[in-house]
Amino acid sequence: MLMPSDAACRLSALGIVTALGSGGDEVWSRLLDGEPSRLVDRADLVPDRVLRVGAVHDPLPRIPARLAAFDCRNNAMALAALAQIEEPIARALREHGAERVGVVMGTSTSGVADAEGAIRHELSEGGLTPTFDYAQLEFGGLASFAADYLGVRGPAYSLSTACSSGARALASARSLLRLGVCDAVIAGAADSLCGLTANGFTALSAVCDGVTNPCSKNRAGLTLGEGAAVFLVEPGPGGVQLYGVGESSEAHHMSAPDPSGAGAEVSMRGALEDAGLGPDAIAYLNLHGTGTPLNDKMECLAVERVFGRALPVSSTKPLVGHTLGAAGAIEAAFCWLVLDRAQSGALALPPHWWDGEGDAELPALHLVQKGETAHPRSAPRVMTNSFGFGGNNCTLVLGRDGGRRGTELTN
């Protein structure tokens, strides 16, 4: 199939597991509830501190024995998400052949949580746990596992640009289709709670007590989370499309963004330009919205410069935690659900949970309230921001046209 470089790129199917639950239906309904009630307290992550986190509650599938080398929690979460879209993936494999299907996955943790167990075992008993394999720890292991599990024979690699990893995986997937290297790509991300990231972000004084409080004057840091989201990405029109990708680097500091928001602004403007849209075309923006003092300030400043203050925006991190390497894919999934569940042209929007106390130093953006809907005058387009540690930014624009399911989009 001919795929010119501006060809359509459809996110055909979504699998997702987060603290909100498993599968699009469950996640969507709890997302609209907009309450951080699914977060739990964990005392085992950081010494002498209880962290409220967005842990995945659902029992995870067992990794098949033939893939025992990949048996770790991170891959089990990826498997939980992949299993939800096994049918469309099998269809793509039949249509295109295993060699023409690729895998691009984002992660910042890979199987570090299980490696911690192995090292703990080594320090106490001598020798790593017998079930430990390096394939669980190395970043490439996640994509390799997904490819081996699905029987995919095309390229398989993991991207790891901290908190923008999952968004980048979708950007790369679209490019692989346009390059003619693949006819379908399984793209997404998985990240799991572990001692390393919990203690690392704690050492950076980036983690708050309780639930993160994005855009509030009282915001005091992020809430950690875990989860996985995977898409089947295919060429062609219809359904939910990936319309735009914007990218930039901060060139500022390893663990802090440029306070002016310049990098975030370039990323958002780049995504609009790539999608061929003006700012007015965007109906909703899912903020990176980590709830750290610096992120929210620079992001709100950048959003105001690009969009003004009227655009409905929300951070969904109070509901699922900051899932780090998976956040870009999970928040793209939330945007996908907003578009997929559109009713008669109305978009139900994920509410912004916070204490309602605005920060005088931040522009007062239009934070989505519970029950709020958007009614775009043209075909809906939404945006999601991901800003990674190390200064790596990626913004995606998703949208939906009349097309195949156009009956639901009457205006």
Q: Any idea which residues carry the catalytic annotation? A: 163, 288, 322
Nearer to other proteins, 3 or 32 (CB): 3
193's CB contacts (< 8 A; 6+ apart) are 42, 45, 53, 55, 113, 224, 225, 226
User: How many angstroms from the chain centroid is the CA of residue 265?
Assistant: 19
Question: What is the residue-wise DSSP string for 211-277?
Answer: S--TTBTT---B-BB-EEEEEEEEESSSSEEEEEEEEEE--S-SSS--TT-HHHHHHHHHHHHHHT-
Q: How far is the CB of 388 from other proteins (least distance, A)?
A: 7
Nearest residue to 105 via CA among 394, 338, 391, 328: 328
The secondary structure element, H or E, covering residue 245 is strand 240-249
Nearer to other proteins, 249 or 373 (CB): 249
Nearer to other proteins, 34 or 154 (CB): 154
Question: What does residue 249 show for φ and ψ, rounded to 5 degrees?
Answer: -120, 150
Distance between CA atoms of residues 26 and 276, nearest Å: 33
In contact, 158 and 172? CB cutoff 8 Å = no
User: How many angstroms from the chain centroid is the CA of residue 278?
Assistant: 24
Q: How far is the CB of 178 from other proteins (least distance, A)?
A: 5
Distance between CA atoms of residues 407 and 411, nearest Å: 10
Question: What does residue 396 show for φ and ψ, rounded to 5 degrees?
Answer: -115, 145
Q: How far is the CB of 104 from other proteins (least distance, A)?
A: 9
Angle at 350 (CA atoms; ends 347, 353), nearest 5 degrees: 150
Distance between CA atoms of residues 13 and 24, nearest Å: 10
Question: What does residue 134 show for φ and ψ, rounded to 5 degrees?
Answer: -60, -25
Q: How far is the CB of 112 from other proteins (least distance, A)?
A: 7
Nearest residue to 316 via CA among 41, 22, 54, 17: 54
Q: How far is the CB of 349 from other proteins (least distance, A)?
A: 29
Nearer to other proteins, 54 or 246 (CB): 246
Helix (H, G, I), strand (E, B) or coil at 209: coil
Nearer to other proteins, 358 or 390 (CB): 390
Round to the nearest angstrom and report the end-to-end CA distance of the chain: 31
Orientation of helix 86-96 relative to helix 73-84, angle to 10° = 80
Q: How far is the CB of 355 from other proteins (least distance, A)?
A: 27
Beta bridge partners of residue 312, listed in sequence order: 366
Nearer to other proteins, 55 or 362 (CB): 55
Q: How far is the CB of 74 from other proteins (least distance, A)?
A: 14
Phi-psi region of 390 (alpha: psi -120 to 50; beta: other; left: phi over 0): left
Nearer to other proteins, 2 or 310 (CB): 2
